Amino acid sequence: MRLSFILSSLILCALSAPAQNSQSTTEPAVRLVLERQQEAWNHHDLESFMTGYWNSPEVTFFSGARIYSGWQSTIERYRKSCQSEGREMGKLEFSDLNIEALATNAAWVRGTWRLTMSDGKTPHGLFTLILRKFPDGWKIVHDHTSAAE
């Protein structure tokens, strides 16, 4: 009787502890990934910005009706849209971040993005991110970004 109680308690603790703790530990870690991305972008450092993404052919980026599969396609999409002739990166600001842990190693984020360009224009929109925790930290495994029409 006593042994079965100890066993049940231990299993319950083992099962519930990660779920209880994941939001409080995940939220600041994921927020830091996005803060570093914002900082890197505003230093025009696309390579550092891209360290927020999972460096894998399996990472995906959705924009409008376009799918970019893989880290390489994603960085090329950014280079083409922001660093090619006549283009500029602008000043990036993420806001209204809503970060939710789904497991000890998985989270998702809703948020808004806004660029301020040198001509005063402010393209903006929304994003949804899925992040996984890897040995080298939290990384975006999927990014769905949309812009004001």
What residue ranges bind a copy of itself (CB under 8 A)? Answer: 3, 6-7, 10-11, 14-15, 60, 62-67, 102-103, 106, 108, 110, 112, 124-128, 130, 142, 144, 146-149
Minimum Å distance from CB 19 to a copy of itself?
A: 8
Nearer to a copy of itself, 40 or 131 (CB): 131
Phi, psi of 2 (to 5 degrees): -65, -40
Q: How far apart are CA 113 and CA 128, in angstroms?
A: 11
Task: Select 103 or 117, whichever has its Cβ closest to a copy of itself.
Answer: 103
CB atoms near residue 82 (< 10 Å): 17
Element (H, E) at 125: strand 124-134
| Distance in Å, CB of 143 to a copy of itself, minimum | 9
SS3 state at 91 = strand
